[in-house]
Each structure stands twice: as C-alpha cells, then as structure tokens.
Amino acid sequence: MEIRRLDNHQPDVSPVAAGRLVTQAGARAAAWHVAEETPVAILLNGATFAVMMMTPADLEDFAVGFALTEGIVETAADLDSLRVAEAADGFVVNLTLDPARLASVEDRRRTLAGRAGCGICGAQTIEAVLRPPPRVSGLLPDRDALLRAYDILPAAQVMNRANH
C-alpha cells in the first residue's frame, strides 16, 4: 500500500482556556489545554464515505483502523493507497481500493450530519449499526506485552500530561 503522509501535523496543545484549579489547599489560576478538533472526511476512491470530528494527528493510522473496523477491507494490504491532504476547513483522507469491495459497504455510508463522534450517526440502516462485530482470529496478544503497552501509553498522551 502506498501511504502519502501529510507533513507530520501535530495537534495544537497550546493553552486556550483560563480557569481556576481548585484543590484542598485552595484555588489558583490555571491554563487548561484543549485538544484541537477538526472535520476529517474519509473518501473511498474519491467519494465521501464519512466525516468525523477528530484530533488531526496520526490520520493515517486512524484511516487504516477505520477501514478495518468498518469492514471496508479485511486487511490493511487490501488498500491500494492512502493519501492525506489538508483542506480549507479540515482534512481529507482518500483510501483507494478495488472498486468491487465498495459494493459491500454502501449500506454503511454516512449521509446525515452526526451530532457525536461515535460513528453511529448518519448510518443509513439500523442493520448497518447493529451488525455483529467481525470474528477475530489469529494469535492472542501476550499478557506481558499488553502490560508493557499500558505502562508506556501515558508517555504518548500529550494532552493527559498537560492537563493531569
């Protein structure tokens, strides 16, 4: 799969809201960090499939995960290419794949404006929302590897460090 990355866009984590931090010792001024969110359009072979509000970081990883969980592809290798571009009011992620695969996902195309980021709003049918999750097969993750991953996750959470 060809992946064309945007120039390492990182979300804005500058202080944008002032408030008061209240603790047992009293109150003090605080600057809160708020995650940047922007519309991200997911295109399949150039046609809009869904628009999400999200933090515009790691868009390539998000797009591959979205394609897998939506059943658009069975493996990441099913994607021919993935391109991310900045648009006037957000980002566009275009996934190209075999056109024969698109017919199987048309009933899950989002056509309504969603009010939340859970991915359910805008689905065309109830069946598309309530379909059973795909059966997972293959190796199970090693318990110790999961515990190590949980230990190192906080270091990658910029907003969590900024806001405690």
Active-site residue list: 118
Per-position b or e across 38-73, b if 16+ CB within 10 A of its CB: bebbbbbeeeebbbbebbbeebeebbbebbbebebb
- For 88-102, b where at least 16 C-beta lie within 10 A, e where not — what string? eebbbbbbbbeeebe
Given a contact cutoff of 8 angstroms between Cβ atoms, the answer to whether 93 and 41 are in contact is: yes
145-150 LR contacts (CB < 8 Å, sep 24+): none
Q: Residue written as tokens 């190796």?
A: 139
Nearest to 48 by CA among 111, 98, 117, 101: 111
The identity of residue 129, as a single letter, is V
